[in-house]
Structure 1
Amino acid sequence: MLRRIVLIATVSAAALVGGVPVAGASPLPLPLPLPLLSEPADHLTVIVAETGNTRTDGRYELECEPTGGTHPAAEGACERLEQLAQDGQDPFAPVPEDMMCTQQMGGPATARVTGTWQGRQVDATFRRSNGCEISRWQTLEPVLPNTRS
């Protein structure tokens, strides 16, 4: 929201300056600051439940570029998300329906991640109900807490 306000103010100021000629001066275009035109920073809400550890259960806000929010491992979580993006991986994609997964239970832990990552909307649910889901959870650590004892 703040970026939008700054962008509107900058464009408005540029229009005003360009529209009012100064005596003896030629109007020069004002460059728009490029960071305002870049993609918004990553912002995710992470809700974790039933991990068996009351210190990791809860709702966290995670902001990257710059790192911030209430996430207990924000710096490591942002680094992991950046690494996954550089590797071309989508950690929020669901397990394909035709995937063969080991039938093992990794515990009752669940998580939901919503928000914006790499300029796109995210709404993903995680659980530890089989080998594929356990692997998917572990791929996203430390965005999601480590539930292994």
Structure 2
Amino acid sequence: MSQVITQGTALHGPAAAPAHGPTSAVLPHAPARGSAAGPGARHAARGALRRFVTAVAVVSAALATVSAAPAAASATPTTPLGPTASARGEDRLTVTVSGMGSGVDGTYEVTCRPGRGSHPDPEGACAAVERNTGWGRDAFAPPRQDAMCTMQYGGPATAHVTGSWAGRPVEATYDRRNGCAIDRWDALVPLLPAAGSGTGSATGSATPW
């Protein structure tokens, strides 16, 4: 019985302390490690923070410079170039008319934006072509072959238009032999002379082009 008690005392006495040694050894060294590394870690953290703040300042300055550039560019007055000036170039047409009578028959030049040339009404001529031009619409398209046209005769007048419009070459012929041809001609008045213009026309009267 005394032997058991002796062993028990050995287990729970000072000799048993090594069993708890690893736990006791870690606890006293933790503060020592913290106190030794603390100043260096704080110094490194402060250095990293200064570098970060400097980098942010540099990036912010660069972004401010980039943002200011478009504003300065927009503030600079410029002369706008519309699609007609930059993409279409110059629209120039030559119109040759015959069969309308004296004072109208002849060849005429017209240049648009602004309208000018030997044509009697260059501005009106340009406007007539412009209103017949659009997406899917060709002002100088040939007549449809399958169109149903009235048997209406508009006289012997003919017209030939050449040149360029909307960046495309123009080569078109007009007459007034039936209702479809008359409608196609009239759509381009005053690029083409109106019916009754000149003397010796189908109506025998002289009217301004």
Fold shared, TM-score > 0.5 on shorter chain: yes
Report the 3-state secondary structure (helix = DSSP H, G, I; strand = E; otherwise coil) of the residue aligned with 1:45: strand
How big is the shift at 1:80? 1.7
Mapped to 2, the partners of 1:67 and 1:87 lie a distance apart of 23
Given that residues 41 and 66 in structure 1 are in contact (C-alpha distance below 8 angstroms), is that contact kept between their aligned partners in structure 2? no
Q: Percent of aligned positions with the same letter in both sequences?
A: 48
1:125 aligns with 2:204: no
Correspondent of 1:78 among 118, 123, 126? 126
Mapped to 1, the partners of 2:120 and 2:151 lie a distance apart of 31
Mapped to 2, the partners of 1:98 and 1:79 lie a distance apart of 29
* Aligned counterpart, 1:112: 160
The structure with the largest alpha-carbon Rg is: 2
Q: Would you tell me which structure has more helix in proportion to its own residues? A: 2
Mapped to 2, the partners of 1:108 and 1:87 lie a distance apart of 32
1:96 aligns with 2:144: yes
The change in CA–CA distance for 1:37 and 1:91 in structure 2 (over 3 A counts) is: closer
The change in CA–CA distance for 1:46 and 1:82 in structure 2 (over 3 A counts) is: same
The count of aligned residue pairs is: 116
Return structure 1 stretches of 4+ with deviation > 4 angstroms. 33-37
Given that residues 96 and 108 in structure 2 are in contact (C-alpha distance below 8 angstroms), is that contact kept between their aligned partners in structure 1? yes
Correspondent of 2:98 among 49, 54, 76? 49
Q: Name which structure has the greater RCO, CA cutoff 8 Å, separation 6+.
A: 1
Mapped to 1, the partners of 2:140 and 2:133 lie a distance apart of 11
Given that residues 114 and 123 in structure 2 are in contact (C-alpha distance below 8 angstroms), is that contact kept between their aligned partners in structure 1? no
Report the 3-state secondary structure (helix = DSSP H, G, I; strand = E; otherwise coil) of the residue aligned with 1:69: coil
TM-score (norm. length: structure 2): 0.51
TM-score (norm. length: structure 1): 0.71
Identify unmatched segments of 5+ residues in structure 1: 1-32
Mapped to 2, the partners of 1:91 and 1:70 lie a distance apart of 21
Amino acid at match of 2:192: L
* Aligned counterpart, 1:39: 88
When structure 1 is superposed on structure 2, of 107-116 and 82-91 the one drifting more is: 82-91
Mapped to 1, the partners of 2:178 and 2:157 lie a distance apart of 12
* Aligned counterpart, 1:30: none
Mapped to 1, the partners of 2:112 and 2:186 lie a distance apart of 20
Q: CA RMSD in A?
A: 2.0
Report the 3-state secondary structure (helix = DSSP H, G, I; strand = E; otherwise coil) of the residue aligned with 1:38: helix
